[in-house]
Structure 1
Amino acid sequence: MTSQPPPPPPQPPPSSAGEQPEVAHINRLPDELLLLIFTKLNSAKSLCICNLISKRFSAVVHQTPSISITFPHRDSNDRSENLPKKLFNYLSKSVFRKPPPNNFDGALFQSAVDSLKCFQNIRDLRIELPSFQQDESILKWHAEFGRGSNVCVILFATYSHQSTSANHQIQNPDTLLTNQLLQSRIASSNQCFREATWRQHVLRHVVENHRRTLETAEICDSDRKGRVVMKDKRQMSDLLDPEVKLPASGYGKLWHVQLLRLPKSRCVLHGATVVAIRRTDENEEEVEDVGVKQLMKKDEQVLLWEVLTHILENHAPSRSLNINAGRR
């Protein structure tokens, strides 16, 4: 018995007379609309993938004005780190002028910085690096550095909750500013300030490749608790100016409120502490608010600014601090 040949594959129905072959609809979009899509996409990783699709995509992608780039934590127990990575982490101590934390992957960072060089029109840049803070009581922090502003503000709370009728009388004796709590939060503030300074050096390393177009830049942590920001061309210029150096010393103020109720957000903070640190030259006069009022502009960190507004209007500083930024 002879085997039957397999049936032929089904044929597509014949096209109508004059019908054009199917084309990718995205190719019909003008470059301006394609650029708008890439701008909304924003992620540097996704944009680099789009760059590989076609020559047209590549040409448009490189004009994207707003880019966000995220770096994951490096496993500090990973023993597979090769020699080039170890070498870069050694060299980065001199590049950034500050030693990178152990779980910062310097080789990955340098590779990403190099990949950004092909983007010719970056105006807004956002970088997210791993958070190295161990103090869980830190809620928010914000730092700005430049000629007119060298301030870092850190907000702590023992715990927080939304205000309800059932808990409006809750108080906790642990929210008192004891010597142990004071020393702990001052130490965490100094660590946060050093980390903010390190992030500023990292940001400078990126910004120098885009000084012609860049208007705003920020470098935040992966916990979304804080960031170092450059909001305008002047701050960008100060960041890149080798003559602008951060003063080696300064002062700070500490505010502590045992129970803080915020009317706008209806948030209740127990054991709320605000530490503001300002680097200054010797001839600069000390001010009561440490210069944080000039930072209190329209900003995404609504909770931090609401706390600062309430504290500056209703409370005097609990402590004054002398800061020697050169100490470790």
Structure 2
Amino acid sequence: MCPVRSDPIHRFHSLPLDHFDRLPDSLLLLIFNKIGDVKALGRCCLVSRRFHSLVPQVDNVLVRVDCVISDDDSSPSSSSSDKSRPAGPFSNFLRLVFGGIVKLLQALGQFLGPKRSLLNETVNAPSSSSSVGRGADDDDAEMGQAGVTHHSPTQVLRNFSEIRFLRIELPSGELGIDDGVLLKWRADFGSTLDNCIILGAASVINDVHSQVSEYGNDGFCSNNSITGNGDDNGSIPESFYTNGGLKLRVVWTISSLIAASARHYLLQPIIAEHRTLDTLVLTDADGQGVLRMNRDQLEELRVKPLSASSASKRTQVPALNMRLWYAPHLELPNGVVLKGATLVAIRPSEQSASRKEVSDASWLSTAFEEPYGTAAKMLIKRRTYCLEMNSF
């Protein structure tokens, strides 16, 4: 008769041990908060009942919007009609001003709405379609061309109850720009626009030692180069006003403000439903635009309804005071050269005088990541030009 083995090694192999059972809930939540991504959290929900109950308590969430679904994208009639239109200078200008904006509004029109939203978070993993990925009703889901399930960010976030830090990332910036053109913006909102800063350049040369043409896209001689030491008087050349340089900057400014106000308008349902939010950031994978709201701004929007534009689904932009800095040729310390570099700082005209002035260097220089933060610091040392814009 064989004796029964009772050594510790035998007992260890005979009894399965789940080491996660030893971890306290607070540590698991710390791990889930480090994960952040809503799809990965959806998969975690399937691991166990314990995980399923803890994931909705996560306070740091990232929602990546995988695709933009627009009925107009596949319309053959719209593409053929575009080809038949004359491409005159005025038509090209209108297309430059409004082409990207129309697509922006189409794509974002139902961003956070209920069914049949145009901009959806693609949930293509089976695990993501459970608990966190869905709301109360499965009918809220949309089906794509290949049977892939889509959910809007509102639906994806429905079961989270403790979100403090929320980041939503679009697949790309809304504003279509030509290759080589730099356009970045950052906007802060409460119930309306608090401030916006825009950095643009007609072209970006990554290697200062490469051959540079005598004249850039703005028609200014590259000898007007600056390195931040103020070796010219900082004045804008007269040709800037006559060769379309100013008109292009106005287009950049209006387009960026419309993109920012459209994002702000469409965030209302999330802000209303998640009262625990401390910070909300809506950005894009290209890094083109960033909309930010802190806790005070979020609460302001809940208490004070925004003014919507009568023309489209976006927040009305108030009357604005703007300051513009310009450099025909801006060489950054890392060798990157910005041709036709422009910085525009924007605040509402009626903003309280107790707030920071628009020329506050700390606000302007920290708006963008490097090397563009350095570009902003260099530009604000140049001559300032003031502009005004009516509400729209």
- State the TM-score, normalized to the length of structure 1: 0.74
Alignment of 1:204-223 (within 5 A): 204-211=268-275, 213-223=276-286
Aligned counterpart, 1:324: 390
Cα–Cα, structure 1 residues 311 and 40, in superposed 2: closer, same or farther, change >3 Å?
Answer: same
Kindly provide the amino acid, as one letter, of the partner of residue 276 in structure 1: A
Asked if 1:301 corresponds to 2:369, the answer is yes
Aligned counterpart, 1:95: none
Aligned counterpart, 2:329: 259
What is the CA–CA distance in structure 1 between the aligned matches of 2:268 and 2:303, rounded to whole Å? Answer: 10
Structure 2 residue runs without a partner (length 5+): 1-7, 76-101, 112-116, 122-150, 221-239, 308-315
Asked if 1:172 corresponds to 2:215, the answer is yes
Aligned partner of 1:128 among 162, 169, 175: 169
- State the TM-score, normalized to the length of structure 2: 0.63
Cα–Cα, structure 1 residues 124 and 252, in superposed 2: closer, same or farther, change >3 Å?
Answer: same
Cα deviation 1:71-107 (Å, max 9, x = unaligned): 122254347xxxxxxxxxxxxxxxxxx9962234642
Q: CA deviation at 1:191?
A: 1.0
Cα deviation 1:105-129 (Å, max 9, x = unaligned): 6423674313313212211110112
Identity %: 27
Cα–Cα, structure 1 residues 118 and 143, in superposed 2: closer, same or farther, change >3 Å?
Answer: same
Structure 1 runs of 4+ off > 6 angstroms? none
What is the CA–CA distance in structure 1 between the aligned matches of 2:373 and 2:159, rounded to whole Å? Answer: 37
Q: Secondary structure at the match of 1:197?
A: helix
Alignment of 1:1-328 (within 5 A): 17-19=10-12, 20-71=14-65, 72-75=67-70, 76-78=72-74, 101-104=105-108, 106=111, 107=117, 108=120, 111-129=152-170, 130-136=172-178, 137-146=181-190, 150-162=194-206, 164=208, 166-167=209-210, 171-175=214-218, 176=220, 177=240, 178-211=242-275, 213-230=276-293, 232-242=294-304, 248-263=318-333, 265-281=334-350, 290=358, 293=361, 295-296=363-364, 301-313=369-381, 315-318=382-385, 320-326=386-392
Q: Secondary structure at the match of 2:27?
A: helix
What is the CA–CA distance in structure 2 between the aligned matches of 1:288 and 1:123, rounded to whole Å? Answer: 26
What is the CA–CA distance in structure 1 between the aligned matches of 2:264 and 2:27, rounded to whole Å? Answer: 34
Contact 1:138-1:154 within 8 A present in 2 as well: no
What is the CA–CA distance in structure 1 between the aligned matches of 2:357 and 2:247, rounded to whole Å? Answer: 21
Q: Secondary structure at the match of 1:117?
A: coil
Q: CA deviation at 1:292?
A: 5.5
Contact 2:105-2:262 within 8 A present in 1 as well: no
Kindly provide the amino acid, as one letter, of the partner of residue 51 in structure 2: F
What is the CA–CA distance in structure 1 between the aligned matches of 2:277 and 2:196, rounded to whole Å? Answer: 23
Contact 1:258-1:270 within 8 A present in 2 as well: yes
Q: Secondary structure at the match of 2:57?
A: coil
The more displaced of 298-307 and 112-121 is: 298-307
Q: Secondary structure at the match of 2:291?
A: strand
What is the CA–CA distance in structure 1 between the aligned matches of 2:11 and 2:265, rounded to whole Å? Answer: 62
Q: CA deviation at 1:297?
A: 6.8
Q: Secondary structure at the match of 1:141?
A: strand
Q: Secondary structure at the match of 2:177?
A: coil
Cα–Cα, structure 1 residues 102 and 292, in superposed 2: closer, same or farther, change >3 Å?
Answer: farther
Cα–Cα, structure 1 residues 45 and 17, in superposed 2: closer, same or farther, change >3 Å?
Answer: closer
Kindly provide the amino acid, as one letter, of the partner of residue 371 in structure 2: L
What is the CA–CA distance in structure 1 between the aligned matches of 2:304 and 2:107, rounded to whole Å? Answer: 28
Structure 1 residue runs without a partner (length 5+): 1-14, 80-97
Aligned residue pair count: 286
